[in-house]
Structure formats: C-alpha cells, structure tokens
Amino acid sequence: MQPDSERAAAAPLRDLIPGDLLAGTTRTPNSKGEATRARIIEHALELARHVGLESLSIGDLAQELGLSKSGLFAHFGSKERLLLDVLDAAAEHFTDRIFRPAVRQPRGEARLAALFETWLEQIDSRELPGSSCVFMASAFEWDDRQGPVRERVVSHFRTLHATLARAVQIAIEEKQFRADLDPEQFAHELHGILLQHHLEARLLRNDKATLHARRAFEHLLADARV
C-alpha cells in the first residue's frame, strides 16, 4: 500500500498520464531475484543506447555483469522478453525525468512549458541515460517488422502522444488555450519540434538547435492561447 505522501505525489501524474504508462513506475524490487533482474535490465538499457535493441547480446550482458549466460537467461526465458522489459524500463525513465518534474507545475501552459524544457534537457544532456534515444532507435529498427517488440514500441509512442494531447486538453479546460484548439494536432506539432531538435542537436550538432526549438514552441503556444 502506498504511503499518503506517495499517493499525493502520484495524483497529478494520474491526471496527465494514461494508466498503462504510469502503472509500472517507481516499483521497488522486493527480492534478491527481482533486484538482479532489475540490474540486468538497467545495464541492458545502457547498452541499448549505444548498440540498439536488436544488437543486445545475452552473452555480452552476462559477461559484463559477472553472471552465467544460463543464469541470466533464466530471469527472462527469451531475448524477446528482455527487450520488452528494456523498453518498459526506458518508458519508466522517461516518465521520471520528463513528466514527473513537469507535473509539479500548475495545470495548463506552465506544465506544458516545463514538459518541453525537461525534454529539451534530456535531449541535450550527454550524461543522462538516453531513454528517448532508445525509442528513437527502436522506431527505425522495428518500423518494418512484426511481433511483440514492435507492438511495445508502438504502444509506448501512442501513450506518449496521448499524454501530450491530455496536457493540451488540461490547458483548454483551464481556459488558457482556446476552446476550438485540437489537442491531437498540438501534440503532433510539439512532438515534431522535439524530434527535429533531437536530429539537429544530436546528429547535426547545430549550435542554434535549442534556439530554433524554443522559437517553434513559442509560436505553437502563441497560436493556442486564448
């Protein structure tokens, strides 16, 4: 059972984030086996930042973590299960680093602005684990493939879009954005700004990437305001 303080902290997140994304966040392992499994997943997520999901190797993971290959495999039963868990862990990291700071702000435009700024920081930082990079890479790795891993990538992207649209809807309900604004269109354009910023900042290393992203976001806000 959650303490009252934890329930209170989670309440704004429940207002913003669909339950399927929020359900797995901040879960603490309660056994040695779960702790080992969590350690494997975190290390696999770190590796996936550099080599991609598909190139993750059970053997390499086991060697780096000081485990036997069979012992590591026993925690998951298949490489596919490991990849699914890595994606879920990446989504939890994203929620903790992007959405949790944002929901400390008042409902409406301030919360959207905080979300945008924390996401920019995540993209620009070379120190933070790159959960967004894992999803970007996975989108290209799995876009033409079938199966549970692709379905999980799609699910997380759809949940992300729904969360952005919900944040916009809240701003409409707070009468900060005009009533005829399309939340899904706003979310589409906001995500587009951030994806373009990822390309400009990380790949092209454009010194003006952040300036351009902030200008584009301000234009989006200006058009949405009452």
pLDDT values of the chain reduced to their tens digit, one per residue, 226 residues = 444 444 444 556 667 765 544 544 455 666 888 999 999 999 999 998 888 888 898 999 999 999 999 999 999 999 999 999 999 999 999 999 999 999 999 999 999 999 999 999 989 886 555 555 788 889 888 899 999 999 999 999 999 999 999 999 999 999 999 999 999 999 999 999 999 999 999 989 999 999 999 999 999 999 999 9
191: domain range? 4-224
Give the three-state DSSP class for 177: strand
CATH of the domain at 138: 1.10.357.10
Which residue, 89, 57, 87, 88, is CA-closest to 73? 57
Work out how many domains the chain is built from and give that number. Answer: 1
* Helical segments of the chain, H only: 4-16, 19-22, 32-51, 58-65, 69-74, 79-94, 100-102, 109-124, 131-142, 148-173, 183-198, 209-224
Give the per-residue pLDDT at 52.
86
Tokens of 7: 């329930």
pTM, to two decimals: 0.85
**Torsion angle of C-alpha atoms 79, 140, 133, 108, degrees rounded to 10:** -120
